[in-house]
Amino acid sequence: MEMRMDWDADGALRLALQGRLDLETVPDIRKRVLKALKKKPSAQVAVDLSGIERMDTAGVAFLVELRNLVGGKAGDWRLEKASGAVMKMLELARLDVLADAGADHGRD
């Protein structure tokens, strides 16, 4: 599993994940991301999922936790480039709402 974290000028975090996001990789990824966010708190997070090959419920749970950590307001949280397979996992968890957070400024 590869991970890149970048902060833009406004302090928004951009997280790019590659490979498997599952119950074997989530423990370490979570640790690293939480540590980074502690050092550099960020109220806005965008997660680029284009490189995800496999995601399971642990991966979904990690995204939920991350979203909650940054406040979870529309616009402050964005999932980008979720593949069909990733979307299916989100739907299976009844959490496809996670993926359209970026597009729903109008909603609550």
Partner 1 sequence: MAETEAGAIIQVKSLNSFYGQRRVLQDISFEVPAGKVTVIMGVSGCGKSTLLRHLIGLKPTDPGQIFVEGRDLAGFDARQMEAFRKRIGVLFQAGALFNSMSVRDNIAVPLRVHTRLAEPTISIMVRIKLHQVGLTRFGDYMPSQLSGGMRKRAGLARALAMDPEMLFVDEPSSGLDPITAAGLDDLILELREAMGMTLIVVTHELESAFRIADQLIVLDQGRVLAAGMPESIRESRDERVVQFLTRRADERTRDQEGYLSDLLTGGRKVGVHP
Candidates 1-9, 27-35, 42-50, 72-80 — which segment interacts with partner 1 by CB under 8 A?
27-35
Strand ranges, E, within 8-85? 13-21, 45-55, 77-80
DSSP letter assigned to residue 96: G
Residues 6 or more apart whose Cβ sits within 8 Å of residue 59: 21, 22, 26, 52, 89
CB of 79 to partner 1, least distance (A): 16
CB of 47 to partner 1, least distance (A): 16
Taking the least distance from each CB to partner 1, the nearer of 11 and 27 is 27
Among 24, 35, 53, 104, binds partner 1 (CB under 8 A): 24
Q: Rounded to an integer, what distance in angstroms lies between the CA atom of residue 26 and that of residue 3?
A: 11
Position 26 contacts partner 1 (CB under 8 A) = yes
Q: Rounded to an integer, what distance in angstroms lies between the CA atom of residue 20 and that of residue 7?
A: 23
Residues numbered 53 to 92 that lie near partner 1 (CB under 8 A) are: 56-58, 60-62, 64-65, 85, 88-89, 91-92
Of 102, 60, 59, residue with least CA distance to 77: 102
Q: Which residues bind partner 1 (CB under 8 A)?
A: 22-24, 26-27, 30-31, 56-58, 60-62, 64-65, 85, 88-89, 91-95
